Structure 1
């Protein structure tokens, strides 16, 4: 972002930009914590004695619960306007990640993993609503793209914590090696809480960035294209593979070392960060080109195709193919995460935004749960059939995309 760009912003836009950067830093610290943990949660559960099915169920249930709770947190944050309360309380539950260092049984580890996801569920609709107010001042795609970029820098750093620990450990990774890594997340957790409260005291009323739209839009209903987009996301996410299952595949087959598993995840997160920023700019360009606030969704046409290609790659037994698959995995993640946040800000009115984020998150979380559990179940039966079914699911998303395109145009 050039100094010239900043200089040309109005005072309101500069304040909005500051809020985006501060939340980007908060997300960066948050991602160091929970993405660092997620990069090894699958192998850690396996080390504690869990099967592929259990890993899939724990990860999937955690994701589903984390997204399902967003329906309530989104609705009540809209109803009470207590966006900051839900944001702060949700981030506070990140304490469950360093507490994973105290778990010696997979059942206890599973509880902490689920608690972390619940915290994300509580904070996400409220946080995204706060951010959406600010992004309206600088462009929703660009604003969320910047936040996603900073967010994913943390997602790169977090897994590297375990990479460096595993490099210094023995050839067989023990429970103690994993617990050492989890314990390092106390420091970013404390830093996150400090920055979060600083941001709260700095910008207590972020809705002022969009006060004119509030008066103009009143209480419009959630539009039809929102539901079609939700269906598209549901289908393409069910077929998308959780990294916990990919990490499980890499570990049990001895394809790469334990140290390389979180490194692969870090590489994917780096691609996610870079591509998320590019997608944000492209998203805004699509809106400008078609003079349509909803046209940014058209950028998602590539998602089911890329996902269908990456599935057989990440479940192969070849290092190079898996690496390419993880690069594509990062691109798809960057597309989903940037577009879903920006698009909901564009296709819903301000009074329904927290609710819309909550509804969408439930649908997304249900897809993650079904996808993770189903993938874990099929993996134990046949990798070939698992790949075939997941690719077929992704292809079902293509006609839904064209249905969405027709509604937009």
Structure 2
């Protein structure tokens, strides 16, 4: 019996690694594309308003529609199909930007990429959650996030080199077809080797018509408060530029630093979550309240500390927040739960970011105060969930 459990653990770990490699390669495609999209749209003649609306509407599509596709994945039970379709749309749409010669077509392809993210995310997270429960939900999602972030860091750096040598956006976008093809190859391998990932936890999901528990909805309130309190890096970068705290060329390096901290923190916080549960999330949310005052200070060292904390909190978002959903959502409702989770988090983040942008122009202390109050309110809600 013990050897069988060990073998199942090993297979679950292998599945998480395979899906992590899929995310790594997919991140090289779409994070690489997103790192070039703003300046590429400008070259094609788009205005600043178009670029801003493209980013905002894209995020609403990418998060808001996850609610729909989450319910669809549970209704159809076609988790693999939705995951494959979603990744397939991504690896086609982004490299096709190399063939565009006007900004409306480029915007359309960027919207397709965001739609593909919404299509696959609830189904993909559901598949990963089955294996993560076997190895430890925090550890499983943390490992997946580490591999995911390798692609998010590598692609922009590689494309920077391509542009430096060729000065060709078409070549840069076109080269993204390579990790795209590799992504689909690894994904189809995972599908062939693990046709039923739910078997990894020894349970077969069945259709259910019951709703979610009160604890799940309390958790969602805490998550939405957490998301609304979080500041986007774009606004922090704007502050650095406006206050001349650091040279403009060095700002992307700070983002790379945050992404590196993200990758390391995701795995570490994942282990912590498996040991002490939701109390880990309570502590991280309290820590997150410190990041906003630091990010919007006028001191270089304070900003660096804020960037490190912000990156660590981002790692927790991608590991612990996703892992905790498995505590409240039964197997048969997991896709819908992840759809609700992602939609609620994304929309709250969007609303919060928009409000913080307005507050920055009015009063920096007001921005900091609102963010801290929202974070501390989220701490109280998550604490109540953890105690129960």
Question: What is the TM-score with the length of structure 2 in the denominator?
Answer: 0.86
Question: What does 1:323-342 correspond to in 2, within 5 Å?
Answer: 323-342=304-323
Q: CA deviation at 1:168?
A: 6.1
Q: Secondary structure at the match of 2:65?
A: helix
CA contact (8 A) 1:276 1:334 kept: yes
Question: What does 1:349-388 correspond to in 2, within 5 Å?
Answer: 349-381=330-362, 383-388=364-369
C-alpha offsets along residues 188-229 of structure 1, whole Å, 9 cap, x if unaligned? 1111111111211222122222343647x9766422121111
C-alpha offsets along residues 298-348 of structure 1, whole Å, 9 cap, x if unaligned? 211233433332224334555444332221111111111111221112221
CA contact (8 A) 1:230 1:360 kept: yes
Q: Single out whichever of 333-342 and 374-383 deviates more from structure 2.
A: 374-383
Paired residues, what number? 384
User: 1:230 and 2:216 equivalent?
Assistant: no
- Name stretches of at least 5 consecutive residues in structure 1 with no aligned partner: 1-6, 170-175, 287-295
User: 1:205 and 2:204 equivalent?
Assistant: no
- Name stretches of at least 5 consecutive residues in structure 2 with no aligned partner: none
User: 1:29 and 2:37 equivalent?
Assistant: no
CA contact (8 A) 1:229 1:404 kept: yes
Rate the CA distance shift 1:188–1:260 in 2: closer, same or farther, 3 A: farther
Question: What does 1:4-403 correspond to in 2, within 5 Å?
Answer: 10-39=6-35, 41=37, 50-51=47-48, 57-94=53-90, 95-101=92-98, 108-165=105-162, 181-212=172-203, 214=205, 221-250=211-240, 256=246, 259-286=249-276, 296-316=277-297, 318-381=299-362, 383-403=364-384
Cα distance in 2, alignment partners of residues 147 and 183 from structure 1: 27
Cα distance in 2, alignment partners of residues 132 and 145 from structure 1: 11
Q: CA deviation at 1:109?
A: 4.6
Q: CA deviation at 1:381?
A: 4.8
CA contact (8 A) 1:64 1:368 kept: no
C-alpha offsets along residues 157-194 of structure 1, whole Å, 9 cap, x if unaligned? 1232244457669xxxxxx6666544432221111111
Rate the CA distance shift 1:369–1:50 in 2: closer, same or farther, 3 A: farther
Cα distance in 1, alignment partners of residues 144 and 275 from structure 2: 18
Cα distance in 2, alignment partners of residues 116 and 155 from structure 1: 15
Cα distance in 1, alignment partners of residues 301 and 46 from structure 2: 29
Cα distance in 2, alignment partners of residues 105 and 392 from structure 1: 44
Q: Single out whichever of 346-355 and 252-261 deviates more from structure 2.
A: 252-261
